[in-house]
Structure 1
């Protein structure tokens, strides 16, 4: 595996075959890969690298080190920056919500298949990070997916809501996820329609993702067409993100 870039020990980008592997680094033993402004901006920078270096058959895999995929926004950072001011605290939180919207936008418009290899807990914005990918592979033996917004006393940002409605097909599943704040394991995620395959316990989610990536890479789809079809598939989400889709027709040589 070839390391293409590693910045501030927050994330790293590697290349394995056709796959770009974006990893959220474990900076401490209890790292939950919280989305601070710095980490959000780093993810966006790496996605720019992926897009610029992609070739036909490229696939993006996003994963994380340790026991968590991503636990959501960095509330500790917001508290530290606020200095005891409730107004400043809310301002910093809103800044993270606004910044992360661009990550979702980048992923939905990325010209290649995308896979989230969810190795542990994916909560709140971490769940949204996973759902922004085309495919998910999930560690099967833990309750990993949770919206967590009720516990945070936070309402749904518009793009969160559009993403959930676009990716979670069943209204009952959406209610359980958001209004009951239940946690879901891989089997429940499959019932929700956000997971294709529940792999066996003990099998590494990244290895499963890499196997899927190689299968997708062999298709060698036109990357621009792939991105436009994805955007057309989620019109409500794209409207919320400010994305438009373009109709592309084949040339004579196809």
Structure 2
């Protein structure tokens, strides 16, 4: 499910769920958080971890939330939020090696990382408006902080998929390349001053993305999650038909 290995001072954490294209459920999120926490704890040891690479096994980075695995409950919501916070707060740089499609929760995982190396055939997509769900404030604001408000609107409101070249153009990808490219970048960064890197990471992540949402934001998000439209999206998926949304 989660494979962890060391390559010198770089820890490599791989989501390995071929049958679901590396989709996330509460169990996977918890295991991934524990792997990140363990690598972070090793940053202070005699053989320290200086950087972390997160990637997916096979041809997908992460196909999003596992819709067959109970993601519509608070267990997934809490485990997923804790995983993202671990990636964001671990005291060493995290590089997402986006080796294939990153959808929904996969995009969130990539956004939590400090740098993204994107394979030529990879694509980002956040289709929440097509399934009646609502993102948390952190995801929307972090995406806007990374790519700018205009591009974030296209990705979220128009559900526009973003390929590798476009991702590089708008700042979602720091480099284009495969796992080898990500490992080379991680090895280079691992030779830099750890305290300097930790300071940069802390300051950059101290944006408004972690501010508590206003009551109206929370109400709108919960309204979407409780809506008939969300139930319609689930039914349409099971019945293999387009959903018909009614705004209630």
State the TM-score, normalized to the length of structure 2: 0.78
In the TM superposition, residue 230 of structure 1 has moved relative to its aligned partner by: 2.1
Deviation at 1:141, TM superposition (A): 2.7
Post-superposition Cα deviations, 1:80-124, rounded to whole Å, max 9, x if no partner, equal: xxxxxxxxx84x1x4322321111111111111110001111000
Change (3 A) 1:218 1:227: closer
What is the deviation of 1:194? 1.8
Deviations 1:232-254 (A, max 9, x none): 2232123359xxxxxxxxxxxxx
Whole-angstrom distance in 2 between the partners of 1:240 and 1:119 = 33
Segments of 5+ residues of structure 2 without an aligned counterpart are 214-248
Give structure 1 stretches of 5+ with no counterpart. Answer: 1-9, 79-88, 200-204, 242-254
Trace 1:137-148 onto structure 2 (pairs within 5 A).
137-142=117-122, 144-148=123-127
RMSD after superposition: 2.0
Moved more, 159-168 or 170-179: 159-168
Q: Any idea what SS the aligned residue of 1:21 has?
A: strand
Deviation at 1:206, TM superposition (A): 0.9
CA contact (8 A) 2:50 2:194 kept: no
The residue aligned with 2:13 is 22
Q: Name the structure 2 match of 1:233.
A: 204
Instruction: Name 1:177's counterpart in structure 2.
Output: 155
Q: Distance in 2 between matches of 1:109 and 1:207?
A: 25
Deviates more, 1:55-64 or 1:119-128: 55-64
Q: How many residues align?
A: 209
- Alpha-carbon separation, structure 1, partners of 2:186 and 2:155: 28
From the two aligned structures, give the one with the greater helix fraction.
2
Aligned pairs for 1:206-245 within 5 A = 206-222=179-195, 226-234=197-205, 235-240=207-212
- Which residue number corresponds to residue 53 of structure 2? 61
Return the match for 2:100 from 90, 105, 120.
120
